[in-house]
Amino acid sequence: MPTPYDPGAYRPPALAGGASGPSHLRPLIDTVLGALAQGAAARGGPIPHGGPQAVAARLRALAAPVLPTGGTGAQEALHTLVRAVTEGSADPADPYCVAHLHCPPLALAVAADLAVSALNPSMDSWDQAPAASTLEAETTAALAALVYPDLPQPDCLVTTGGSESNQLGLLLARERARAAGSPGVHIVCGANAHHSIHRAAWLLGLPEPRTLPTPDGTLHPATVERALAELHGPALVIATAGTTDSGAIDPLPGIAEVTTAHGAELHIDASYGGPLLFSRRHRARLTGLQSATSVALDLHKLGWQPIAAGLLAVPDATALRPLAIRADYLNADDDTKAGLPDLLGRSLRTTRRADILKIAVTLRALGRDGLAQLVDDVCQQAQQLANLIEAHPGLTLYARPTITTVLFRPSHLTDSELATSRLALMTSGSAVLGRAHAADRLWLKATLLNPTIGPADFTALLDLVAHTGRETRTGRPPSNGQEPSTGQDPPGGNTPRTGQ
Amino acid sequence: MPTPYDPGAYRPPALAGGASGPSHLRPLIDTVLGALAQGAAARGGPIPHGGPQAVAARLRALAAPVLPTGGTGAQEALHTLVRAVTEGSADPADPYCVAHLHCPPLALAVAADLAVSALNPSMDSWDQAPAASTLEAETTAALAALVYPDLPQPDCLVTTGGSESNQLGLLLARERARAAGSPGVHIVCGANAHHSIHRAAWLLGLPEPRTLPTPDGTLHPATVERALAELHGPALVIATAGTTDSGAIDPLPGIAEVTTAHGAELHIDASYGGPLLFSRRHRARLTGLQSATSVALDLHKLGWQPIAAGLLAVPDATALRPLAIRADYLNADDDTKAGLPDLLGRSLRTTRRADILKIAVTLRALGRDGLAQLVDDVCQQAQQLANLIEAHPGLTLYARPTITTVLFRPSHLTDSELATSRLALMTSGSAVLGRAHAADRLWLKATLLNPTIGPADFTALLDLVAHTGRETRTGRPPSNGQEPSTGQDPPGGNTPRTGQ
């Protein structure tokens, strides 16, 4: 790129928009697809081997300098950085990458997301997102009706994820309390609630939530009732439909009943379990959801969307009024009177990406039945995995899975050995498993969100886990960031895998 | 899609990840690129014609039903919805779409963003984003060093935009005040500050900001000094480097001086102006930035990134400590001791998209000089546009532009006629201009962020504005959502345009 400013010679880099945008994008996207394929092949597994220090060193060497004086050009930069980040990625499409509520996105949703980046609608005023704002209104209305099927005008906001949805749920409750003359609202949650509940209370200047014991992993209505009986003033009870640790669903109808009886409100964090609503087979497990004053949902978990695809549903559009704000450059009175929809009250963000398009494409392409089938599949996988664990001589199952999370452990390991074994699997690049405490022990966690894998993958994964557990127990435990010194490849490294 | 559950016959839709992901993506992306091209050609201008009601009706007809029982398949859904949203988009790459701080993204940044959606790294734990978390650390360090070049360890968070950056700036100030024993912090801002400052104070449970008059559009140090002299307790002064209305930059060195003298802190909202730092020609206009305790930046404005690309820079990494939080499943003590970086304290979000990749690709591809040239280009365009307005017999310029925002108006129109005229331009699909109040009048606002357009576009746009202004004044004013009843096409509709 020439250094002296010379408008005659200089040609700015191509834009993604306009009629010629697609032709500018095509060769660049070819490079990206090539780099994705090369990086995945070079990785050859669920996560790069070597652990944090080694992976960071490789990335730094490839990516330096991150802000050169002169540029390397679009093709070089795309190839180098996309390939490096791909090789260094944890791939949730790999059958051995099952740690988190981190789903492998559908190709069709990712393709739709490309259009979002190219069109770049900004969802804070109509004249930055004319059609996208209508698509959002239509799609969120349909999703809100899934949660509140019997109400005339439920509504739903698009968020960055469950954490923001929870934050908005608490904020709306705080504002209702203030409007009723209280300085704030008591937050009452179980020990099983997501940390974002506590973080939201802190952010909003509310007192620390009253956190109730959940010894079996769920919040009992009787526990909630005792807590509410001791409180004075407005209270918001938090129930969870799908905990992060075990996928447990709190008894929603019972909690709704005691909450109503005490004049309190109910926010349900269904960030994980919400998409059970698509399934005829499983939706009854969310009975009680429609009693909530707000519901957090998240389609980048059990909804196969690329991040971000969070939602907050409310029983009536008027519940969102506290978010209203006026900014003359975006929603001046005369513009709103002229029929321009006021979008600022749909988020605390101003500029906002049109995450709705990938969601809308997925709903249309798969339909409710197609999404139900995916949900049913991964729920059934979890039962299959639990069966295999129960039948495995070296493994112990914590409990039958509720949604798609399976807690288990190699028998006879201490908690510390279990943690070491999990790190060894990750550091060697063999498998990515989560961790959770339950019943005073540490467990390995498999969160199943990949509809393309099957029993053969599970058998190989379990053998690998059992083997690594034995090595951890008998061999020298692997130290920080080093490969485990087993002197041999872990089994399963060359096992054919059905995942994509 | 078959309704009865039959694992033998059923094939789940393809995933974007894994070694075969790119081959699944390719045909879907072909469809998206085709739909983008068709939609842009069908629109044929900066924004769809007909106004909100007509555009919404067209979209609804094409998109219904948004949640069918059975799906239409990936290809149909992608083609239909991407084409409909494209035809119904406001395209910031069009030379007549200049309303907002809504940039036309670079094709190379959009291509990089595709990799983000496909890989789907989640930036809340290392085992969901091994390489992406390192790339983020390296890239944010380089950006932080642009803001604070003389400090040993500045840091920078990635946000969803200027609004979240401002919110975090206020939150960190609140927490510093609390740590020092105060219940909160006084927020002191100018009337020119972005509405997100007021919204953040409300969110955080802080008192309404003390809002100081800015009669000429900037906040004067003497005004700040008088306000600080009257306050007791910790105070955070907000200065703006690039207002939304006019691109004005507050006198940062003077404000920094009085703020320091009164023991107050300074947050600078440089969401718009921040990228002037890339430019040798313009960076001196941000002198004083390095005095701030936090700085909001935003590369989806003057940085040609698709949404979202917000940043918050702080002078030292320790300033971010109030965001630290522990969640056993994401950053357990023994994992952190084993060398896994703790990512939860880098955001209030939990799951978080790897927006850094497109930024890193852009920095590498263009280099600092390449970005400087884009910044210099659009700043020069603004001066050219101002020259043309000054020379135009039917138009009045508000003032010489500071960054790339130009306020002007057809001479002899009332404010109401001006608003009507702006709506007529938009409703007819001819041009998208912003609006701003200044010096007790309403002005049209052109925010120039497109490096591919030039003087010929500006001449045609100004003639169109002047013509529509005359029609508004003499003809029947267009009513809500209807095309202006001028009985003829607006001029410029068939003018060749250089933009992409």
Read off φ and ψ for residue B58, nearest 5 degrees.
-60, -45
Report the distance separating Cα B473 and Cα B22, nearest Å. 56
CA atoms within 13 Å, Cβ hemisphere of A46:
30
Q: DSSP of B455-477, one letter per residue?
A: HHHHHHHHHHHHHHHHHHHHSPP
Report the distance separating Cα B275 and Cα B187, nearest Å. 25
Report the distance separating Cα A449 and Cα A93, nearest Å. 9
Tens-place pLDDT, residues A430-472: 999 999 999 999 999 999 999 999 999 999 999 999 999 999 9
CB atoms within 10 A of CB A9: 8
CB contact under 8 A, B132 and A85: yes
Provide, rounded to the nearest whole percent, the portion of chain A with pLDDT above 90. Answer: 88
May I ask the CATH architecture of the domain B368-493? Alpha-Beta Complex (3.90)
- Interacting residues of B116 by C-beta distance below 8 A, sequence separation 6+: A306, B353, B354, B355, B357, B358
Residue A361's pLDDT band, with cuts at 50, 70 and 90, is very high
- Residues on chain A touching B31 (C-beta within 8 angstroms): 111
Buried b (16+ CB within 10 A) or exposed e, A469-482: bebbbeeebbeebe
Q: What is the mean pLDDT of residues A60-65?
A: 98
- The model's pTM: 0.94
Question: B36 vs chain A: nearest CA distance in angstroms?
Answer: 7
Of B26, B78, B434, the CB nearest to A361: B78
Q: Among B176, B226, B161, B230, which residue's Cα sits nearest to residue B206?
A: B176
CB contact under 8 A, B26 and A33: yes
Report the distance separating Cα A109 and Cα A114, nearest Å. 9
Residue ranges with strand state E in A56-180 = 155-159
Of A19, A92, A306, the CB nearest to B37: A19
Task: Give the single-character DSSP code of B355.
Answer: T
CB atoms within 10 A of CB A404: 27
CB contact under 8 A, A72 and B367: yes
Report the distance separating Cα A421 and Cα A84, nearest Å. 27
Report the distance separating Cα A111 and Cα A105, nearest Å. 10
Question: A237 vs chain B: nearest CA distance in angstroms?
Answer: 20
Question: B376 vs chain A: nearest CA distance in angstroms?
Answer: 9
Cβ–Cβ under 8 Å, residues B245 and B438 = yes
Report the distance separating Cα B170 and Cα A175, nearest Å. 20
Q: What is the mean pLDDT of residues A298-320?
A: 98
Provide, rounded to the nearest whole percent, the portion of chain A with pLDDT above 70. Answer: 93
Q: Where are the domains of chain A?
A: 123-354, 368-493
- Among A134, A282, A357, the residue to mutate for chain B (most B Cβ within 10 A): A134
pLDDT tens for chain B, 500 residues: list them: 334 434 455 689 999 999 999 999 999 999 999 999 999 999 999 999 999 999 999 999 999 999 999 999 999 999 999 999 999 999 999 999 999 999 999 999 999 999 999 999 999 999 999 999 999 999 999 999 999 999 999 999 999 999 999 999 999 999 999 999 999 999 999 999 999 999 999 999 999 999 999 999 999 999 999 999 999 999 999 999 999 999 999 999 999 999 999 999 999 999 999 999 999 999 999 999 999 999 999 999 999 999 999 999 999 999 999 999 988 888 888 888 888 888 999 999 999 999 999 999 999 999 999 999 999 999 999 999 999 999 999 999 999 999 999 999 999 999 999 999 999 999 999 999 999 999 999 999 999 999 999 999 999 999 999 999 999 988 754 443 333 333 333 443 334 444 44
Cβ–Cβ under 8 Å, residues B154 and B148 = yes
Pairing label, strands B405-410, B310-314: unpaired
Length of chain A: 500
Per-residue pLDDT at A2: 36
Per-residue pLDDT at B263: 97
Domains A123-354 and A368-493 share a fold: no
- Among B15, B300, B426, the residue to mutate for chain A (most A Cβ within 10 A): B15
Write down the ipTM of this complex.
0.94
Cβ–Cβ under 8 Å, residues B102 and A175 = no
Read off φ and ψ for residue A395, nearest 5 degrees.
-130, 150
CB contact under 8 A, A40 and B19: yes
For A123-354, the fitting CATH number among 1.10.730.10, 3.30.70.930, 3.40.640.10, 3.30.1280.10 is 3.40.640.10
Report the distance separating Cα B206 and Cα B62, nearest Å. 45
Tens-place pLDDT, residues A29-55: 999 999 999 999 999 999 999 999 999
Extract the tokens encoding A166: 């929870």
Per-residue pLDDT at A335: 84
Report the distance separating Cα B259 and Cα A235, nearest Å. 41
- Residues on chain B touching A405 (C-beta within 8 angstroms): none
Per-residue pLDDT at A3: 41
What residues does A215 pair with on adjacent strands? none
CA end-to-end span of chain B, whole Å? Answer: 40
Q: Which residue of A has its CA nearest to B30?
A: A26
- Across chain A, mean pLDDT equals 93
Buried b (16+ CB within 10 A) or exposed e, A331-370: bbeebeebbbbbbbebbbbbbbbbbbbbbbbbbbbbbbbb
Residue ranges with strand state E in A197-353 = 210-212, 235-240, 265-269, 294-298, 310-314
